[in-house]
Amino acid sequence: MANRYQPISHSMYIDLGGPMKFGLLGRTLGHSFSPRIHSALGNTNYELFEREPSQLQEFFADPELQGINITIPYKVNALEACDVVDPRAERIGCVNTMVRKDGKWHGYNTDYDGFVFTLQHAGIDVAGKECIILGDGASSATVHVALEDLGAKNIVHLSRKTAPFYGDAPNYYETAQIIINCTPIGMYPHNPANLIDITQFSKLEGVVDLIYNPRRTILLLQAEMMEIPHCDGLPFLVAQGVEAANHFQGQSFGTKEIEQILRDMRREKENIILIGMPGVGKTTVGKALGEEMGRTCIDVDQELEKEIGDISTYITEQGEPAFREKEAEMIAKLGTQTGLIISTGGGCVTVPKNFAHLRQNGRIYQLTQPVENLSTSGRVLSSGGIERLRELEATRTPMYESFAQCIVEHNRNAPETVAAILEDFETNLL
C-alpha cells in the first residue's frame, strides 16, 4: 500500500457528461464535502441522496446511477446490493463505493485507502504497535483490517456495547501506542466532548480522529499538547473520495490531487484567531485580514455589545467574572464556525476553556507591541495608566503564549502584519 500514494505526472480529467449520475447515499447528510472533492477532480454530476431504508431497493435500481459513495447507515446494505464485491471490501464486511459496470454493481471499500493515507500523512507507523480503536461500527471494521495489513501487533476495540468498554481504558495506559477514534463523539454540533483522557497513556505515539468537523477534537488537542503525531479525519475523507473517483472516472489520481484538495479545503475552513493585550491592534489587523482574504471578520467584543451593551459599563455593574462567562459563551459559539477572522478581547486567555473553543477550528496568533504604545481609551480593565498595563502584561503574557501557535510583532503597520500572518498561515495549512 505504501507505494500506491505517489504523485502522478498527469492531470487529465475525463469529461463525464451525459445522463450518468454520481453521488453520496446516506440517511441524513446535511452539509457534505464530497461534492466539493469530486468537483475538484472534474466530476460535476455529483449529488447528495438522502434516502430512507424502504427506498434503497428503488434507489439502487435507478439506471442513470453510475457511481455511489455510501455513508452511515447504509454501508452493509450497499454490500448486499452489489453483484460483485471486491475481496477487501468483503473481508471488511461493508462497502462505501459502488460502480455500475456492464449493468452490475461492483462494490469497493475506499475508506481503507483513506485510512492508510491518513497514517502516512501524519507520519504514524503502526507496525508492531498496540492499537486501540474507539467504536465498533463500519469505520472501525475498516480501520481494524487496515491495521492488520500494516502489521499492528495487538488491536483492541473499546465500545459501549461489548467489553472491553470505554471505562476499561485505564487497563491500557501503560501499553497502548496508537489510538484511533471511529465514533462521532466530539463531532459538531456536540463539540467539544471526548470519550477518554489520552493524557493518561504513557507510551502513546500516534492519535487519529476520523472526525473532520471540528478539525481538532479534544482528543487531538490533547495529542497536540503532548506533542504526539496526530491527524483529523479530513485527509481520510479526501483520500477515500479521490480513490472512489478513480473507480468512477477510470483515472489514477493520487497523492498530488489529494494534497491539493486538502490544502484548498484547509485554506478555506481554518479560522484565523487574533489574541493579545487590550489596544494592541487586533480589530484593525482583523479587518485588514478580512479584506485581504475576502473573509468575514468578527470582533468578539463588538458581538458581545450587541447582547449586553457597553462592556465597560457591564463589567462595572455586573463584575468581571460575569462578563468572562458571557465572553466564553460567545467564543464557544463562534469557535464552531469556520473560515472566519476572529478578533478576541484582551482577557479571553484568562479563561482556560476558551482555548479549546478557539483552537478547534483555528490557528491562533498573538499580536505584540511595547506596552507604551497600547491604547487604553474606553477600557475599564486598562484604566490606571502604564503601570496597570504592565501588571496586565506580566500576568497575561504567559497565557497568550500558551494559547498562540504564532507570535507576530505588530508595529502599527497593518499590511506588514497581515503579510506575516498569511505567510505563516500558508506554511501551516496541512
Annotated ligand binding at 396? The verdict is yes
The gap between the terminal CA atoms of the chain, to the nearest Å, is: 22
Annotated ligand binding at 88? The verdict is no
Annotated ligand binding at 280? The verdict is yes
In contact, 126 and 119? CB cutoff 8 Å? yes
Nearest-angstrom CA–CA distance, 228 and 194 = 17
Nearest-angstrom CA–CA distance, 295 and 307 = 23
The 3-state secondary structure of 238-262, one letter per residue: HHHHHHHHHHHHCCCCCHHHHHHHH
* Inter-CA distances, 161 with 134, 165, 166, Å: 12, 7, 10
Nearest-angstrom CA–CA distance, 139 and 120 = 18
Give me the catalytic one of 75, 104, 203, 326.
75
Annotated ligand binding at 335? The verdict is no
320-358 burial, b for 16+ CB within 10 Å, e for fewer?
eeebbeebbebbbebbebbbbbbbbbbbbbebeebbbbb
Q: In what order do the strands lie in the sheet with 206-209?
A: 154-158, 130-134, 178-181, 206-209, 230-231
Annotated ligand binding at 279? The verdict is yes
Q: Would you state the cell numbers that stand for residue 89, as one nine-digit string?
A: 471490501
Annotated ligand binding at 36? The verdict is no
Q: Would you state the cell numbers that stand for residue 141, as one nine-digit string?
A: 471494521
Annotated ligand binding at 346? The verdict is yes
**Parallel, antiparallel or unpaired: strands 104-108 and 97-101:** antiparallel
Annotated ligand binding at 4? The verdict is no
Annotated ligand binding at 412? The verdict is yes
What's the longest Cα–Cα distance across the chain?
A: 80
- For the question of residue 75 being annotated catalytic, the response is yes
- ∠ CA 58-61-67, nearest 5°, is 120
Annotated ligand binding at 250? The verdict is no
Nearest-angstrom CA–CA distance, 313 and 318 = 8
Residues in the annotated binding site for substrate: 301, 324, 346, 396
Please give the annotated binding residues for ATP, written as ranges: 279-284, 379, 412
Q: Which residues are catalytic?
A: 75
Q: From the annotation, which residues make up the binding site for Mg(2+)? A: 283
Binding-site residue ranges: 279-284, 301, 324, 346, 379, 396, 412
